[in-house]
Amino acid sequence: MRRFTGRMNGEQYLANATTARKVVHDLDPETAECRIDEVIGAGNAEPFQSQSAANAAGYNNCEHCIEPLHLVLQRRRLDGRGR
Ligand SMILES: [Zn+2]
Protein backbone atom coordinates (compact mmCIF):
# COMPACT_ATOMS: atom_id res chain seq x y z
CA MET A 1 0.00 0.00 0.00
CA ARG A 2 1.51 3.29 -1.02
CA ARG A 3 1.79 6.04 1.57
CA PHE A 4 1.45 9.80 1.59
CA THR A 5 2.73 10.33 5.11
CA GLY A 6 6.10 11.47 6.38
CA ARG A 7 8.50 11.75 3.46
CA MET A 8 6.44 9.42 1.29
CA ASN A 9 4.49 10.88 -1.61
CA GLY A 10 3.06 7.80 -3.30
CA GLU A 11 6.37 6.31 -4.40
CA GLN A 12 6.37 2.54 -4.98
CA TYR A 13 9.58 1.93 -3.04
CA LEU A 14 10.34 2.77 0.55
CA ALA A 15 13.80 2.34 2.04
CA ASN A 16 14.48 1.92 5.74
CA ALA A 17 17.26 4.42 6.27
CA THR A 18 18.46 3.17 9.64
CA THR A 19 22.16 2.44 9.45
CA ALA A 20 21.81 -0.98 11.06
CA ARG A 21 19.61 -2.46 8.35
CA LYS A 22 19.50 -0.85 4.93
CA VAL A 23 16.49 -2.45 3.29
CA VAL A 24 14.18 -1.34 0.49
CA HIS A 25 10.53 -2.42 0.31
CA ASP A 26 8.12 -2.60 -2.61
CA LEU A 27 4.89 -1.11 -1.27
CA ASP A 28 2.63 -2.75 -3.85
CA PRO A 29 3.17 -6.36 -2.66
CA GLU A 30 4.03 -5.21 0.88
CA THR A 31 3.60 -7.80 3.66
CA ALA A 32 2.89 -7.46 7.37
CA GLU A 33 6.49 -8.54 8.07
CA CYS A 34 7.74 -5.39 6.33
CA ARG A 35 6.44 -3.26 9.25
CA ILE A 36 6.21 -0.25 6.94
CA ASP A 37 4.19 1.87 9.34
CA GLU A 38 6.84 1.37 12.04
CA VAL A 39 9.54 2.57 9.65
CA ILE A 40 7.55 5.67 8.76
CA GLY A 41 6.62 6.25 12.40
CA ALA A 42 10.29 6.16 13.38
CA GLY A 43 11.07 8.75 10.70
CA ASN A 44 13.32 6.35 8.79
CA ALA A 45 11.43 6.13 5.51
CA GLU A 46 13.25 7.21 2.38
CA PRO A 47 11.25 7.23 -0.86
CA PHE A 48 12.53 5.77 -4.13
CA GLN A 49 10.95 5.75 -7.58
CA SER A 50 12.65 2.51 -8.57
CA GLN A 51 14.14 -0.59 -6.99
CA SER A 52 17.35 -0.19 -8.98
CA ALA A 53 17.83 3.34 -7.65
CA ALA A 54 17.45 2.05 -4.09
CA ASN A 55 19.89 -0.80 -4.77
CA ALA A 56 22.36 1.70 -6.23
CA ALA A 57 22.06 3.72 -3.01
CA GLY A 58 23.15 0.66 -1.05
CA TYR A 59 19.82 -0.82 -0.01
CA ASN A 60 19.21 -4.55 0.03
CA ASN A 61 15.88 -5.93 -1.14
CA CYS A 62 13.38 -6.85 1.56
CA GLU A 63 13.14 -10.61 1.75
CA HIS A 64 9.37 -10.45 2.23
CA CYS A 65 8.13 -8.19 -0.55
CA ILE A 66 10.91 -8.24 -3.18
CA GLU A 67 12.59 -11.12 -4.91
CA PRO A 68 16.03 -11.59 -3.31
CA LEU A 69 18.67 -9.61 -5.18
CA HIS A 70 20.89 -12.64 -5.81
CA LEU A 71 17.96 -14.35 -7.57
CA VAL A 72 17.30 -11.23 -9.65
CA LEU A 73 20.94 -11.08 -10.70
CA GLN A 74 20.96 -14.81 -11.41
CA ARG A 75 17.90 -14.47 -13.63
CA ARG A 76 19.44 -11.50 -15.45
CA ARG A 77 22.55 -13.57 -16.16
CA LEU A 78 20.42 -16.40 -17.49
CA ASP A 79 18.36 -13.98 -19.62
CA GLY A 80 21.60 -12.52 -20.93
CA ARG A 81 22.53 -15.93 -22.29
CA GLY A 82 19.50 -15.84 -24.54
CA ARG A 83 17.82 -19.02 -23.36
ZN1 LIG B 1 9.25 -5.58 2.55
Domain boundaries, given as residue ranges, for the chain = 13-80
Is 13:54 a contact under the CB 8 Å cutoff?
Answer: yes
Indicate whether 73 pLDDT > 80.
no
Say what the pTM is. Answer: 0.78
pLDDT at 60: 92
CA-based nearest residue to 7, from 53, 54, 43, 51: 43
**Ion ligand 1 — residues with CB < 5 Å:** 25, 34, 62, 64-65
Is 34:62 a contact under the CB 8 Å cutoff?
Answer: yes
Q: Phi/psi class of residue 45: alpha, beta or left (left: φ > 0; alpha: ψ in -120 to 50)?
A: beta
Kindly report which listed range (14-18, 26-30, 72-76) carries the lowest average pLDDT score: 72-76
Average pLDDT in the 60-78 region?
A: 82
Query: What is the distance in A from the centroid of ligand 1 to the CA of 57?
Result: 17
Query: What is the distance in A from the centroid of ligand 1 to the CA of 80?
Result: 27
Indicate whether 36 pLDDT > 50.
yes
Indicate whether 83 pLDDT > 80.
no
Average pLDDT in the 26-43 region?
A: 94
Query: What is the distance in A from the centroid of ligand 1 to the CA of 28?
Result: 10
Dihedral over alpha carbons 34, 38, 42, 44 (to 10 degrees): 20
Q: Are strands 60-61 and 23-26 parallel, antiparallel or unpaired?
A: parallel
pLDDT at 67: 74
Query: What is the distance in A from the centroid of ligand 1 to the CA of 82?
Result: 31
